[in-house]
Amino acid sequence: MQAMVYTRYGAPADVLHVAEIDTPQPQADEVLIEIHASSVNYGDRALVRGKPFLVRFMGYGVRSPNYQIPG
C-alpha cells in the first residue's frame, strides 16, 4: 500500500514523500479501512517539523521521528 511518510524532521515539502509499505494486519478488535484521499493539517505540519521541540520528548523521537506516518 502507499503511505505518506517522513524519516526526519523538517519542512513538510522537503521531508514528506509517498512510499510503498506493507499493508497493516488488523487485530481481532480492529478494522482496516481504505482511504482514497487525505490532507495534512496544522497539527501534522507541526509534528513533521518537530515543533514544539518539547513534544519530541513525549515519545515522538528526539533526533528523528519514531512514528514515520503522520496522522
pLDDT tens figures, 51-60: 777 766 766 6
Distance of CA 19 to the CA centre of its chain: 12
Looking at the domain assignment, is residue 51 inside a domain? yes
Range of the domain at 24: 2-58
Query: Could you give the C-alpha distances from 35 to 1, 38, 45, 60, 63, in angstroms and in order?
Result: 11, 7, 20, 24, 30
Looking at the domain assignment, is residue 11 inside a domain? yes
Looking at the domain assignment, is residue 66 inside a domain? no
pLDDT tens figures, 14-42: 999 899 988 889 999 999 988 898 888 88
Looking at the domain assignment, is residue 70 inside a domain? no
Q: What's the number of domains the chain is made of? A: 1
pLDDT at residue 28, as a whole number? 94
Residue 47 pLDDT > 90, yes or no? no
Looking at the domain assignment, is residue 35 inside a domain? yes
Looking at the domain assignment, is residue 30 inside a domain? yes
The reported pTM is 0.63
